[in-house]
Chains A and B, each alone.
Chain A
Amino acid sequence: MPKVRIDNETYEFEGRPKLLQFCLDIGVELPHFCYHPSMSVPANCRQCLVRVGTPARDRGTGEMQVDEAGNPVIQYFPKLQTSCSLEITDGMVVETHRSSEEVAGAQKDNLEFLLINHPLDCPICDQAGHCPLQIQAYKYGPEGSRFEFDKVHKPKHIRLGPRVVLDGERCINCTRCTRYTSEVSGSHQLTIIERGVRNYPMTPPGTEFDEPYSMNVIDICPVGALTSADFRFKARIWEMSKTPSITVANAKGSNCYYWVKDNLVMKVTPRQNMDVNEYWLADEDRLDYERFNKDRPAGPMINGSAAGWDAAYGEAARLLSSVDPSEVLFIGSPFATVEDNYLLTKLADSLGSPAPQYIRHVEIGKGDDWLITDEKAPNHQGCERLGMSEIDAEIAAARIQTGEIKLVYVLEEDPVVAGVLSASDMDAVKVILHPYNVTNETLHGANVVLPAATIVETVGTFVNIDGHAQRVRPAKAIRGVNRTLVMEMGESRADRHGTPFDRWHNETNLVDCQPGWVSLPEVAERLDIEMAYKGPRQVMEEVAGTVDAFQGATYEAMGLEGVRLMEIGAAV
């Protein structure tokens, strides 16, 4: 296998890798700004310079030249090379800043240039704390500056579009954003205007940067030039915890991080998963977080009045046992986890009721062939794989009106909006509801309300539109103590590095709700139904072991990137 020597260590390589990506893959860090693995290589930031040599060959014979000791003679390029654009060849010798003072010097020189016209407004910049320029300037840059003139002034706080704001002065012209719109999203909505040191990205005259994936440029911007109109100045990066999870605005299950401060989700950013969303996130996924923070229920209720959890569980059990099992309609939820839907199925089964059905949420034409789907609920695949069928709203409504159904048990769903229940039915039929939000129109007529933990507060599994099973983790706490949730919780920097005196944790904005895998067994227990699980992990183990369509979907297997399940037809 061909070999390359980097800082006196020899590595084998396959194919024709570029040097920078190869170094990053083997864990040799090289500073860089403009390079992004998913886009073309412009080599314009000039930060990743290295010294490179290749074995010298005799011009006539083409044979490798060797010195007296028999080692190949290495011929160095006269100029330093940008590692991002350089293809590795067999026998190549590379010196990075670790072994070459010249390279270290060149990287320092380049950072000096990058910083002379960059405003040093880190204390008020959103990017500070996770800024590649800031980090690499500290690591590889010079101490202080020799620049004694006015910095170049460019336009600031320009709204490029409804969701992205530009600070032209912070821009270091890496062209990642313009390459993104021309090579990845294909909208061609951004270009560099002006010339030389006055350059900055801009939309063509009379247009705005409004593509449905515009906010990705905010993440790939290596400085704070492109910021989120939504998130600007709301929180510093170190004040938030960061939890790996998935988004739920559509059925793609794009991988993301939820950033949480004071138990409120502040922003959503993409998490790399080459099987699902690569490096990207749709804008609708990013802006779909207010529902975790706002309009949350205050606690359990019985017939419109606040109640304790025990009382509410008891009342739910009493209602369930007061009707004939065949008169109960169980409605599962494509917004809830596989675990919760499974437990609901099990509850219905144990009672002898018909299997739960689910309401489908499709908006035809909303999707594209990338990360946005027509399907607006995240887990209809999970429901299907559990054997649930799509509810026919008309038939269900008719059965309720004729009194055939006397009790509706709903998991995080709004049957009133879906047309299954009408407000006038609510007097005749009993309703038990696990809602996420108080905007749920079924809530007003519900007899028992058991507030449910949302995707950012629970542990569980979702199956995306392509059959990719992925885990979610709690990003924020709920009221009360739950050991399973605490163990899975994301950490902030202060959680990890802070002292007890930081008074980091606080009790604000905690929602009084419970995950389905807590509330459903509580109800079942009161009906003398055996449903004793140690937690969602055990539930999922059982699902993976007993339901063919979920084969192999254990928590261990899913890890951070999920597993691709067998196609539904094939599994049976």
Chain B
Amino acid sequence: MEAKTAKTKAGEWRKYERVLLPPIKDLHRIDVYEANGGYKALKDAIKGEKWTPTAVTDEVKASGLRGRGGASFGCGLKWSFMPKPDGGPRYLCCNGDESEPGTFKDRQLMEYNPHLVFEGIMIACYAMSISTCYLYVRGEYADWIDQMETELAKAYAKGYVGKNILGSDFSCELIIHKGAGAYICGEETSLMESLEGKRAYPRIKPPFPAQYGVFGRPTTINNVETLACVPLILERGASWYAGLGAAKHPGPVLYGISGHVNRPGVYEYPTGMLITDLIEEVARGVRGGKKVKAVVPGGSSTPPLRADMIDGVTMDVESLREAGSMMGTAGMLVMDEDTDMVSWLRRVTHFYHHESCGQCTPCREGTGWLEDIVSRIERGEGRVRDLDLLADLCSQMEGRTVCALADAAAWPVRYTIDRFRDEFVARCRPSHVAVPALPESELEEAET
């Protein structure tokens, strides 16, 4: 196959200097953070004449920052949906409930650079005139929650958070809220229900969170990594940010690379990295010198790409859409040539079956059924017609539920079978009646 001509959009990525997770020892400590220019952006924003709340929002808009939580929605645009302050409470929720298989990048931020997140939160709250933020962290991150609470207390003591921040008349509370182990709580409306102390069933939209959010008040929900970008944008300017990586999806990104690579881990680079560069150079190639079989670019819900589909594909919304997948959370899973795709899919369906909240019929019933069928195929007891049934069930689930969990559960099934069908057919029991292959002429006829 001829190699595609597309090149990396990440520019001189080999010389890239990390900004989200800079290589500074003990950066999680507030004194180290301050010594390295920390909370400067917040000071500028609150004290300087330049940064009115609207100007901050406009700057974020101009930077082209897209949400890092999976949907890649324009961050500045989202902020501008907030209605004008009416004197009542308004909320920001910072979503640190990452729990999709293959996604583990927010954890690095919360562990190694929590003050950057706090600073981003405070600036966002300032931009949207919000006085309370909930940082919703998945409960399994207990150690980092403890550490963040310690550091947050210091930030409070130093006047970066709380009443009259840095002597200004802007006040904002930050509350770290621990989840209890449910993937669905990462869905923004479900997160709000959970915060309110209710069962985390996603809400129907409209009304959207900006109109009717936490406790029925205007609310914006942003991912941890998204908000961590905000101080950088103010400090270095929107044009710096917009010039980094892919034009339509700019900025630094934390690539969480896992699977059969020599050096799995979280790597910070600009968007628009070639998938092949990430595997071969960043992650130091596939384990044991094997070939790549499949790449899941952005967490288990994004459609997997076959090895022959990744040539020239870069990690940004545009390129991945063309290639037939999605950016998701940039949690890239690499599978080598020995991987059993049936087994992989069975594990993915098990996850969604286990995590479906059970509110909507198609997801509640469908996720379990998908797992049942894929498990049967894995055991070698499936039939070829099961593959068609799986495709049917995916159609019955997609777009028919309150939230996107049903889609997230259906896509991997649909695309894995679509792209690795031979492997699935080979695992199914042969038909009882042998069907003779059609002569080629008739095949063409049938196609027309």
Majority secondary structure, A binding face: loop
CB < 8 Å neighbour of B353 from A43, A82, A146, A196: A196
Can you list 20 A-B contacts (CB < 8 A)? A46-B360, A46-B362, A80-B400, A106-B396, A113-B365, A113-B369, A114-B361, A117-B368, A149-B372, A172-B361, A173-B361, A175-B359, A191-B199, A192-B199, A195-B354, A195-B355, A195-B356, A196-B356, A196-B358, A197-B364
Contact, CB under 8 Å: A114 / B396: no
Contact indicator per residue, chain B 359-383, by CB within 8 Å of chain A (1) or not (0): 1111011111100110010000000
User: Which A428-463 residues have C-beta < 8 A from chain B?
Assistant: none
Contact indicator per residue, chain A 27-57, by CB within 8 Å of chain B (1) or not (0): 0000000000000011111110100000000
Q: Is A116 located at the chain interface by the 8 A CB criterion?
A: yes
**Complex alpha-carbon distance, A112 and B400, angstroms:** 14
**Complex alpha-carbon distance, A173 and B362, angstroms:** 12
Q: Which residues of A contact B309 (CB under 8 A)?
A: none
Q: Is A277 located at the chain interface by the 8 A CB criterion?
A: no
CB < 8 Å neighbour of B361 from A44, A79, A149: A44
**Complex alpha-carbon distance, A112 and B399, angstroms:** 17
Among B358, B376, B395, B402, max chain A CB count under 10 A is at B358
User: Which 3 A-B residue pairs are closest in the complex by CB-CB distance?
Assistant: A113-B365, A199-B358, A109-B396
Q: Is B357 located at the chain interface by the 8 A CB criterion?
A: yes
Minimal beta-carbon separation of B356 from chain A (angstroms): 4
Q: Kindly state the interface size class of chain A when it binds its partner.
A: 35 or more
User: Which B382-417 residues have C-beta < 8 A from chain A?
Assistant: 389, 395-396, 399-402
Q: Which residues of B contact A78 (CB under 8 A)?
A: 399
CB within 8 Å for A49 and B365 given contacts A85-B204, A197-B358: no
Q: Is B21 located at the chain interface by the 8 A CB criterion?
A: no
Q: Is B176 located at the chain interface by the 8 A CB criterion?
A: no
Q: Which residues of B contact A43 (CB under 8 A)?
A: 204, 402
Contact indicator per residue, chain B 181-207, by CB within 8 Å of chain A (1) or not (0): 010000000000000000101001000
Q: Kindly state the interface size class of chain B when it binds its partner.
A: 20 to 34
Minimal beta-carbon separation of A174 from chain B (angstroms): 9
Chain B residue at smallest Cβ distance from A80:
B400
**Complex alpha-carbon distance, A194 and B182, angstroms:** 11
Contact indicator per residue, chain A 108-126, by CB within 8 Å of chain B (1) or not (0): 0110111011000000000
Contact, CB under 8 Å: B399 / A79: yes
Q: Which residues of B contact A152 (CB under 8 A)?
A: 368
Q: Is A360 located at the chain interface by the 8 A CB criterion?
A: no
Q: Which residues of A contact B354 (CB under 8 A)?
A: 195-196
Given contacts A44-B201, A113-B366, A173-B361, 8 further A-B contacts (CB under 8 A): A42-B204, A44-B361, A82-B204, A117-B368, A149-B369, A149-B373, A195-B355, A196-B367
Q: Which residues of A contact B372 (CB under 8 A)?
A: 149
Contact, CB under 8 Å: B357 / A146: no
Q: Which residues of A contact B399 (CB under 8 A)?
A: 78-80
Contact indicator per residue, chain A 58-91, by CB within 8 Å of chain B (1) or not (0): 0000000000000000000011101001000000
Q: Which residues of A contact B400 (CB under 8 A)?
A: 46, 49, 79-80, 106, 109-110
Q: Which residues of B contact A85 (CB under 8 A)?
A: 204
Minimal beta-carbon separation of B214 from chain A (angstroms): 17
CB < 8 Å neighbour of A44 from B356, B360, B368, B376: B360
Q: Is A399 located at the chain interface by the 8 A CB criterion?
A: no
Q: Is A147 located at the chain interface by the 8 A CB criterion?
A: yes
**Complex alpha-carbon distance, A543 and B446, angstroms:** 84
Q: Is A537 located at the chain interface by the 8 A CB criterion?
A: no
**Complex alpha-carbon distance, A110 and B399, angstroms:** 12
Q: Is A198 located at the chain interface by the 8 A CB criterion?
A: yes
Contact, CB under 8 Å: A113 / B362: yes
Contact, CB under 8 Å: B362 / A109: yes
Contact, CB under 8 Å: B365 / A195: no
Contact, CB under 8 Å: B182 / A114: no
Contact, CB under 8 Å: B368 / A197: yes
User: Which B83-114 residues have C-beta < 8 A from chain A?
Assistant: none
**Complex alpha-carbon distance, A45 and B364, angstroms:** 10
CB within 8 Å for A44 and B359 given contacts A116-B365, A196-B367: yes
Q: Which residues of B contact A46 (CB under 8 A)?
A: 360-362, 400-401
Chain A residue at smallest Cβ distance from B199:
A192
CB < 8 Å neighbour of A173 from B182, B359, B368: B359
Minimal beta-carbon separation of A478 from chain B (angstroms): 48
Minimal beta-carbon separation of B424 from chain A (angstroms): 17
Q: Which residues of B contact A117 (CB under 8 A)?
A: 365, 368
Q: Which residues of A contact B369 (CB under 8 A)?
A: 113, 116, 147, 149
Q: Which residues of B contact A116 (CB under 8 A)?
A: 365, 369
Minimal beta-carbon separation of B109 from chain A (angstroms): 28
Q: Which residues of A contact B353 (CB under 8 A)?
A: 196-197
**Complex alpha-carbon distance, A45 and B201, angstroms:** 13
Contact, CB under 8 Å: B182 / A110: no
Minimal beta-carbon separation of B6 from chain A (angstroms): 30
Contact, CB under 8 Å: A146 / B362: no
Chain B residue at smallest Cβ distance from A200:
B358
Q: Which residues of B contact A41 (CB under 8 A)?
A: 204
Chain A residue at smallest Cβ distance from B405:
A196
Minimal beta-carbon separation of A485 from chain B (angstroms): 47
**Complex alpha-carbon distance, A191 and B201, angstroms:** 12
Minimal beta-carbon separation of A140 from chain B (angstroms): 13
Minimal beta-carbon separation of B388 from chain A (angstroms): 10
CB < 8 Å neighbour of B364 from A79, A109, A112, A199: A199
**Complex alpha-carbon distance, A43 and B400, angstroms:** 11
Minimal beta-carbon separation of B412 from chain A (angstroms): 17
Chain A residue at smallest Cβ distance from B373:
A149
Among A78, A114, A196, A199, max chain B CB count under 10 A is at A196
Minimal beta-carbon separation of A179 from chain B (angstroms): 11
Minimal beta-carbon separation of B373 from chain A (angstroms): 8
Q: Which residues of B contact A199 (CB under 8 A)?
A: 358, 364
Minimal beta-carbon separation of A41 from chain B (angstroms): 7
Q: Which residues of A contact B182 (CB under 8 A)?
A: 195
**Complex alpha-carbon distance, A113 and B394, angstroms:** 12
**Complex alpha-carbon distance, A79 and B397, angstroms:** 12
Contact, CB under 8 Å: A196 / B368: yes
Q: Which residues of A contact B360 (CB under 8 A)?
A: 44-46
**Complex alpha-carbon distance, A197 and B409, angstroms:** 14
Contact, CB under 8 Å: B361 / A110: yes
Minimal beta-carbon separation of B299 from chain A (angstroms): 20
Chain B residue at smallest Cβ distance from A41:
B204
Contact indicator per residue, chain A 124-157, by CB within 8 Å of chain B (1) or not (0): 0000000000000000000000110100100000
User: Which A162-205 residues have C-beta < 8 A from chain B?
Assistant: 172-173, 175, 191-192, 194-199
Minimal beta-carbon separation of A20 from chain B (angstroms): 13
Q: Which residues of B contact A79 (CB under 8 A)?
A: 399-400
Contact, CB under 8 Å: B362 / A195: no
Contact, CB under 8 Å: A198 / B361: no
**Complex alpha-carbon distance, A43 and B401, angstroms:** 9
Among A47, A80, A113, max chain B CB count under 10 A is at A113
Contact, CB under 8 Å: B204 / A195: no
Among A44, A82, A146, A191, max chain B CB count under 10 A is at A44
Chain B residue at smallest Cβ distance from A192:
B199
CB within 8 Å for A192 and B358 given contacts A44-B201, A80-B399, A113-B396: yes
